[in-house]
Structure 1
Amino acid sequence: MMRCLTIIAAAFFATAAGAQSIEEQLNDYPTAARADYVFGCMAANGQGQDVLIRCSCSIDTIASILPYEKYVEAETVLSMQQVGGERMAIFRSAPAAQLPVADLRRAQAEAEIVCF
Protein backbone atom coordinates (compact mmCIF):
# COMPACT_ATOMS: atom_id res chain seq x y z
CA MET A 1 0.00 0.00 0.00
CA MET A 2 2.76 2.44 0.97
CA ARG A 3 4.72 1.63 -2.21
CA CYS A 4 1.59 2.31 -4.27
CA LEU A 5 1.15 5.73 -2.62
CA THR A 6 4.81 6.51 -3.24
CA ILE A 7 4.48 5.68 -6.94
CA ILE A 8 1.30 7.76 -7.25
CA ALA A 9 2.95 10.71 -5.47
CA ALA A 10 6.04 10.44 -7.70
CA ALA A 11 3.86 10.40 -10.82
CA PHE A 12 1.91 13.42 -9.58
CA PHE A 13 5.05 15.45 -8.86
CA ALA A 14 6.64 14.44 -12.18
CA THR A 15 3.54 15.67 -13.99
CA ALA A 16 3.45 18.86 -11.94
CA ALA A 17 7.15 19.48 -12.57
CA GLY A 18 6.61 19.14 -16.30
CA ALA A 19 3.89 21.78 -16.14
CA GLN A 20 6.12 24.39 -14.49
CA SER A 21 6.38 27.77 -16.14
CA ILE A 22 9.73 29.18 -17.17
CA GLU A 23 9.61 31.54 -14.18
CA GLU A 24 9.09 28.62 -11.79
CA GLN A 25 11.95 26.69 -13.36
CA LEU A 26 14.26 29.69 -12.95
CA ASN A 27 13.18 30.11 -9.33
CA ASP A 28 13.99 26.58 -8.18
CA TYR A 29 16.53 27.60 -5.54
CA PRO A 30 15.18 27.24 -1.99
CA THR A 31 15.05 30.42 0.05
CA ALA A 32 17.55 28.99 2.57
CA ALA A 33 20.09 28.36 -0.21
CA ARG A 34 19.67 31.91 -1.53
CA ALA A 35 19.98 33.35 1.99
CA ASP A 36 23.09 31.27 2.68
CA TYR A 37 24.70 32.57 -0.50
CA VAL A 38 23.79 36.19 0.32
CA PHE A 39 25.19 35.88 3.88
CA GLY A 40 28.46 34.48 2.53
CA CYS A 41 28.63 37.12 -0.18
CA MET A 42 28.04 39.90 2.34
CA ALA A 43 30.68 38.48 4.67
CA ALA A 44 33.16 38.71 1.81
CA ASN A 45 32.05 42.08 0.39
CA GLY A 46 30.68 44.19 3.24
CA GLN A 47 27.54 44.69 5.26
CA GLY A 48 25.81 47.66 3.63
CA GLN A 49 22.44 47.87 1.90
CA ASP A 50 24.16 48.27 -1.45
CA VAL A 51 26.10 45.02 -0.89
CA LEU A 52 22.87 43.24 0.09
CA ILE A 53 21.31 44.31 -3.21
CA ARG A 54 24.38 43.27 -5.21
CA CYS A 55 24.64 39.89 -3.48
CA SER A 56 20.92 39.24 -4.01
CA CYS A 57 21.37 40.13 -7.66
CA SER A 58 24.33 37.76 -7.80
CA ILE A 59 22.43 34.67 -6.59
CA ASP A 60 19.48 35.57 -8.81
CA THR A 61 21.82 35.71 -11.80
CA ILE A 62 23.46 32.41 -10.87
CA ALA A 63 20.00 30.83 -10.47
CA SER A 64 19.01 32.03 -13.93
CA ILE A 65 22.07 30.32 -15.44
CA LEU A 66 22.56 27.20 -13.35
CA PRO A 67 19.80 24.80 -12.22
CA TYR A 68 19.71 24.23 -8.47
CA GLU A 69 20.72 20.58 -8.85
CA LYS A 70 23.94 21.64 -10.61
CA TYR A 71 24.56 24.34 -8.00
CA VAL A 72 24.32 21.76 -5.19
CA GLU A 73 26.62 19.42 -7.10
CA ALA A 74 29.25 22.14 -7.52
CA GLU A 75 28.97 23.25 -3.89
CA THR A 76 29.37 19.63 -2.78
CA VAL A 77 32.52 19.19 -4.85
CA LEU A 78 33.94 22.45 -3.50
CA SER A 79 33.27 21.41 0.10
CA MET A 80 34.76 17.96 -0.48
CA GLN A 81 37.89 19.58 -1.90
CA GLN A 82 38.40 21.22 1.49
CA VAL A 83 38.53 17.84 3.24
CA GLY A 84 41.99 16.35 3.49
CA GLY A 85 43.02 12.81 2.84
CA GLU A 86 43.61 10.37 0.08
CA ARG A 87 39.95 9.46 -0.37
CA MET A 88 39.02 13.04 -1.19
CA ALA A 89 41.72 13.45 -3.86
CA ILE A 90 39.18 12.42 -6.50
CA PHE A 91 37.34 15.70 -5.90
CA ARG A 92 40.51 17.68 -6.47
CA SER A 93 41.83 15.92 -9.56
CA ALA A 94 39.08 14.14 -11.51
CA PRO A 95 37.94 16.09 -14.59
CA ALA A 96 34.35 14.91 -14.07
CA ALA A 97 34.36 16.48 -10.61
CA GLN A 98 35.64 19.75 -12.02
CA LEU A 99 32.84 20.21 -14.59
CA PRO A 100 30.14 21.34 -12.14
CA VAL A 101 32.64 23.65 -10.44
CA ALA A 102 33.58 25.18 -13.79
CA ASP A 103 29.89 25.77 -14.56
CA LEU A 104 29.43 27.45 -11.19
CA ARG A 105 32.52 29.62 -11.72
CA ARG A 106 31.19 30.75 -15.11
CA ALA A 107 27.82 31.62 -13.55
CA GLN A 108 29.59 33.52 -10.75
CA ALA A 109 31.67 35.43 -13.30
CA GLU A 110 28.51 36.43 -15.16
CA ALA A 111 26.92 37.50 -11.87
CA GLU A 112 30.01 39.55 -11.06
CA ILE A 113 29.71 41.41 -14.36
CA VAL A 114 25.96 41.97 -14.06
CA CYS A 115 25.74 42.84 -10.36
CA PHE A 116 29.03 44.33 -9.23
Structure 2
Amino acid sequence: MANYGYYLQLHPNTFETVRFIAISPKTEGFGVDEKHKTDKNGVPVWTVSALVKVPGGVQEMESFTLTTPAEIANKIKQIEELTAIRLIGLAGGKWSPLQTDKTSWSFQISGVEVLKAQQ
Protein backbone atom coordinates (compact mmCIF):
# COMPACT_ATOMS: atom_id res chain seq x y z
CA MET A 1 0.00 0.00 0.00
CA ALA A 2 1.32 3.42 -0.93
CA ASN A 3 0.11 5.91 1.66
CA TYR A 4 0.84 9.52 0.82
CA GLY A 5 0.91 10.50 4.48
CA TYR A 6 -1.38 13.48 4.55
CA TYR A 7 -4.96 14.07 5.55
CA LEU A 8 -7.14 17.05 4.74
CA GLN A 9 -9.76 18.36 7.14
CA LEU A 10 -13.25 17.49 5.88
CA HIS A 11 -16.43 19.48 6.44
CA PRO A 12 -18.32 18.29 9.55
CA ASN A 13 -21.38 17.63 7.33
CA THR A 14 -19.52 15.34 4.92
CA PHE A 15 -21.81 12.58 6.15
CA GLU A 16 -25.54 13.21 6.45
CA THR A 17 -25.83 10.56 9.16
CA VAL A 18 -23.33 8.56 11.19
CA ARG A 19 -24.37 5.63 13.39
CA PHE A 20 -21.92 3.97 15.75
CA ILE A 21 -21.21 0.27 15.25
CA ALA A 22 -18.05 -0.56 17.26
CA ILE A 23 -14.56 0.38 18.35
CA SER A 24 -11.68 -2.09 18.27
CA PRO A 25 -7.89 -2.02 18.58
CA LYS A 26 -6.06 -1.32 15.34
CA THR A 27 -3.46 -4.05 15.04
CA GLU A 28 -0.24 -4.57 13.15
CA GLY A 29 1.70 -7.75 12.51
CA PHE A 30 0.35 -11.27 12.05
CA GLY A 31 -0.28 -14.27 14.28
CA VAL A 32 1.85 -14.33 17.42
CA ASP A 33 3.49 -11.07 16.28
CA GLU A 34 0.15 -9.22 16.11
CA LYS A 35 -0.01 -6.31 18.55
CA HIS A 36 -2.11 -3.24 19.27
CA LYS A 37 -0.77 -0.41 17.13
CA THR A 38 0.40 2.78 18.87
CA ASP A 39 1.49 6.16 17.59
CA LYS A 40 5.06 7.48 18.01
CA ASN A 41 4.18 8.62 21.56
CA GLY A 42 2.83 5.21 22.59
CA VAL A 43 -0.85 6.24 22.46
CA PRO A 44 -3.07 3.34 21.28
CA VAL A 45 -4.69 3.52 17.84
CA TRP A 46 -8.27 2.30 17.41
CA THR A 47 -10.68 1.62 14.56
CA VAL A 48 -14.17 3.09 14.90
CA SER A 49 -16.72 1.40 12.63
CA ALA A 50 -19.85 3.30 11.66
CA LEU A 51 -22.75 3.19 9.27
CA VAL A 52 -22.56 6.44 7.29
CA LYS A 53 -24.62 8.13 4.61
CA VAL A 54 -23.42 10.89 2.31
CA PRO A 55 -26.09 13.37 1.20
CA GLY A 56 -28.10 11.75 -1.59
CA GLY A 57 -26.31 8.43 -1.13
CA VAL A 58 -26.96 5.09 0.49
CA GLN A 59 -25.81 3.91 3.91
CA GLU A 60 -22.42 2.17 3.91
CA MET A 61 -19.99 0.84 6.50
CA GLU A 62 -16.89 2.96 7.00
CA SER A 63 -13.88 2.79 9.31
CA PHE A 64 -12.19 5.71 11.05
CA THR A 65 -8.80 5.71 12.75
CA LEU A 66 -8.77 7.22 16.25
CA THR A 67 -5.66 7.69 18.39
CA THR A 68 -6.69 7.94 22.04
CA PRO A 69 -5.91 6.47 25.46
CA ALA A 70 -7.63 3.21 26.44
CA GLU A 71 -9.78 5.04 29.02
CA ILE A 72 -11.44 7.11 26.28
CA ALA A 73 -11.81 4.07 23.99
CA ASN A 74 -13.51 2.19 26.85
CA LYS A 75 -16.03 5.03 27.22
CA ILE A 76 -16.71 4.90 23.47
CA LYS A 77 -17.25 1.12 23.75
CA GLN A 78 -20.22 1.89 26.01
CA ILE A 79 -22.11 3.62 23.17
CA GLU A 80 -25.06 1.51 22.10
CA GLU A 81 -24.91 0.10 18.56
CA LEU A 82 -26.62 2.28 15.91
CA THR A 83 -26.59 5.37 18.15
CA ALA A 84 -26.33 8.61 16.15
CA ILE A 85 -22.88 10.15 16.64
CA ARG A 86 -20.82 13.10 15.44
CA LEU A 87 -17.26 12.55 14.26
CA ILE A 88 -14.94 15.15 15.77
CA GLY A 89 -11.95 16.31 13.73
CA LEU A 90 -12.89 14.36 10.59
CA ALA A 91 -10.07 14.22 8.07
CA GLY A 92 -9.63 12.19 4.91
CA GLY A 93 -6.82 11.10 2.69
CA LYS A 94 -6.55 9.09 -0.50
CA TRP A 95 -4.22 6.17 -1.00
CA SER A 96 -3.47 3.76 -3.80
CA PRO A 97 -2.42 0.13 -3.45
CA LEU A 98 0.86 -0.60 -5.17
CA GLN A 99 0.63 -1.75 -8.80
CA THR A 100 -2.86 -0.37 -9.43
CA ASP A 101 -4.47 2.89 -10.47
CA LYS A 102 -7.37 2.48 -8.02
CA THR A 103 -7.58 4.99 -5.17
CA SER A 104 -9.46 4.67 -1.89
CA TRP A 105 -10.35 7.00 0.96
CA SER A 106 -8.93 6.61 4.44
CA PHE A 107 -10.41 8.56 7.36
CA GLN A 108 -9.19 9.65 10.76
CA ILE A 109 -10.98 11.37 13.62
CA SER A 110 -9.98 12.93 16.93
CA GLY A 111 -13.12 11.97 18.84
CA VAL A 112 -16.73 10.81 18.90
CA GLU A 113 -19.74 12.58 20.38
CA VAL A 114 -23.19 11.06 20.93
CA LEU A 115 -25.90 13.20 19.36
CA LYS A 116 -28.83 14.07 21.57
CA ALA A 117 -32.14 12.60 20.43
CA GLN A 118 -34.36 15.19 18.76
CA GLN A 119 -37.60 15.80 20.61
Instruction: Give yes or no for TM over 0.5.
Output: no
TM-score scaled to structure 1, two decimals? 0.24
Report 1 or 2 for greater relative contact order, CA contacts < 8 Å, sequence distance ≥ 6. Answer: 2
Bigger share in helix: 1
Bigger share in strand: 2
TM-score scaled to structure 2, two decimals? 0.24
